Amino acid sequence: MENHGGNKEKNKEKNKKSLTNKVWKQTADNKEYDEKKTLYQNFLAFSGKSDEDFSSVVFEDFLSPFDFKDMRIAVDLLEDVIAKNERILIFGDYDLDGMSGTAVLFLALKILGANVSYRLPSREDGYGLSEKFIDEAYKNNVKLFITTDCGVSNVAEIEKARQYGMNVIITDHHSVGEVLPDANAILHPLVSGESFSDKNLTGAGVAWYFSRAMLQNRFGKEKTRSIEIELLEIALLGTVADCGALTGENRKIVFLGLEKLRTTKNKGLLELMSVSKTNINEITAETIAFFIAPRLNASGRIAHPRLSLELLLGNKERAYDLEELNKKRQDMVNVFFAEANEQVIGDGENNQVDNPAIIVKSTQWPGGIIGLISGRLAEQYARPTIAFEITEEKITGSCRGPVGFDIAKVLKDIQRDFPAYFYGCGGHAQAAGLSLYPEYFNDFCNEFNARVVDIRGTVPPLPELSYLSEIKGVCTLSEIKELQQAEPFGIGNPSPCFRFSKCVVVRSRAVGKDKNHLSLFLRSPISGQGNLSAIWFRGGEFEMSIPENTIIDVLAIPKINTWNGQDSISLQVVDVMLENSLNKMG
């Protein structure tokens, strides 16, 4: 007999929405949690990974920096310039990936005795390299121009540098165009014919490999390991902040970089840990992503990125400047996100809730904040989103896209077909930026919407949250500790999210300075007889929706909470669904 009842229940489940208006989807539909296996063993089964994917990392595991096809050219050119005491300029991007790459290269070149300085643009200067910086470098008698986290799309700018007689080394990882700049050497994992086998390095990662090569070339690799490891604590910051996939070389950078960071002697980083109340002994990739990177990125968003670069180079006083800037940035985001969301849920023609894409704009939002606005909107509505800063001369946009939608490719395709619209564009599959001529703004928006419809259809898919499995039976501290061997978690190796069903709310309380987080105590089958603590970041608004004795299902990441030397199980909540939350869909 067919199990019509079971199918009916499954269909009901597909129609359920959570408190955040999302549907939940198990990544492996036909697999059930095996109570005879540990949490880690179940994680491996559901994620399709093996023990080998999470083996311990040693320094010898890194690929050789000379696997880059242009590395020998770059290193020989560098040594020639240093020998002549000619001036070298490092030009980096204004985000943490660019700052980290700049810091790594600067420190390595100083060790080599190079005549080196650095230059970072501000947000007002615009994204990436522009001709005014080439002119400035020429006036300052720069003979070798090195880019980090930018440059591969700057064909005209690099041509001008070469006409001025400068040598150019590009280190980058962004989308590659059909035409490459005429640089002396290009260190980039994605260029055609590149022999470096790992294609996922960030800008800081490429810079670190360049630093390794220049140090090994001068001193021999047997003598440079301690310096290379020391530079890892900075390279890991850019790798995490720029959402590098934590597999392959990136996993090695972050794994060993975290080890080094826990014993850092960098006074700037130590002070930043102190100011941000970060326990350096327990720092993880997630700690960096949510607490350290936002502070370091704050200067590039609303002040000047050199403040963060100076901290990375050891200036501890900058930690206090960054803490103040980050608080200011948080307040600005809260206000501007509310304004942007009003544009989405507005009345009549202004309502975008059911639109294939979301486009919001303002003359009041600074360029350093629009990426955070588009990110929050894309997360909430699960569709391609652009937030624009409007000025008379130029319209600047920051884009975010859902998984499976390559927003950078869409921008590049529009630029190819309508080049007159653009000052420029670039980025990655899920995060990109662009700048437009104001007279073409409406044309661009129409074209962008049309291309989103072509790719995703007129009815946006329901926003989904994925989880590995429902946990059944009691979950122990030792099992969660075993699960930690799969760290570091992040892009490419997401934190293991499980479903915890039929939890009874013992207590629900909004916490935090702005009461925007939700602290919960739950009675759950996985905790045996005791109560289970849980925290839902940015879930404070749902305090009244789940009062005491409410029965809920929870999507959460199991964690270990240490308090007064005692360990206990804690859940980091991702979403909540009420037991009676079946929506009647029409």
Residue 412 CB-density burial (10 A; 0-12 exposed, 13-18 middle, 19+ buried): buried
Highest CATH level, class, for 470-578: mainly beta
pTM of the model: 0.88
Tokens, residue 336: 């501007």
Nearest Cα neighbor of 427 from 148, 131, 150 is: 150
Nearest-angstrom CA–CA distance, 193 and 77 = 21
Strand order in the sheet with 115-119: 115-119, 87-92, 142-148, 167-171, 185-187
Nearest Cα neighbor of 489 from 380, 574, 575, 398 is: 574
> In CATH, what is the architecture of 345-464?
Roll (3.10)
- Per CATH, 64-226 and 470-578 having the same topology is answered no
2 half-sphere exposure, CB direction, 13 A CA radius: 3
Contact 455, 410 (CB under 8 A): yes
Query: If DSSP codes are grouped into helix, strand and coil, which group holds residue 301?
Result: helix
Tokens, residue 487: 């760290």
Residue 434 CB-density burial (10 A; 0-12 exposed, 13-18 middle, 19+ buried): buried
Tokens, residue 101: 């790459």
Residue 555 CB-density burial (10 A; 0-12 exposed, 13-18 middle, 19+ buried): buried
Contact 351, 328 (CB under 8 A): no
Nearest-angstrom CA–CA distance, 539 and 448 = 32
Nearest-angstrom CA–CA distance, 264 and 280 = 9
- What residue type is 293 in one-letter code? A
SS3 readout for 469-538:
CECCCCCCHHHHHHHHHHCCCECCECCCCEEEEEEEEEEEEEECCCCCEEEEEEECHHHCCCEEEEEECC
558 backbone dihedrals φ, ψ, rounded to 5°: -70, 135
The per-residue b/e assignment along 64-96, b for 16 or more CB within 10 angstroms, e otherwise, is ebbebbbbebbbebbeebbeeeebbbbbbbbbb
Q: At what angle do helices 248-261 and 203-219 cross, to 10 degrees?
A: 70
Note the pLDDT of residue 2.
45
CA angle 22, 465, 483 (to 5 degrees): 145
Tokens, residue 582: 């079946």
Note the pLDDT of residue 528.
64
The per-residue b/e assignment along 201-226, b for 16 or more CB within 10 angstroms, e otherwise, is bbbbbbbbbbbbbbbbbbeeeeebee
Note the pLDDT of residue 462.
78
Nearest-angstrom CA–CA distance, 505 and 523 = 7
The whole-number mean pLDDT for each consecutive block of 10 residues of the chain, a chain of 586 residues, reads: 48 70 84 89 90 91 98 98 98 96 98 98 83 97 97 95 98 91 98 96 98 98 95 97 93 97 97 95 93 96 96 98 96 94 84 91 94 92 94 94 89 95 87 94 96 90 87 87 92 92 93 91 78 92 93 94 85 90 36
- What residue type is 384 in one-letter code? P
Q: Where are the domains of the chain?
A: 64-226, 345-464, 470-578
Would strands 422-427 and 464-467 be described as parallel, antiparallel, or unpaired?
Answer: unpaired
Note the pLDDT of residue 581.
46
DSSP class of 177:
-
Highest CATH level, class, for 64-226: alpha beta
Nearest Cα neighbor of 42 from 554, 366, 496, 383 is: 496
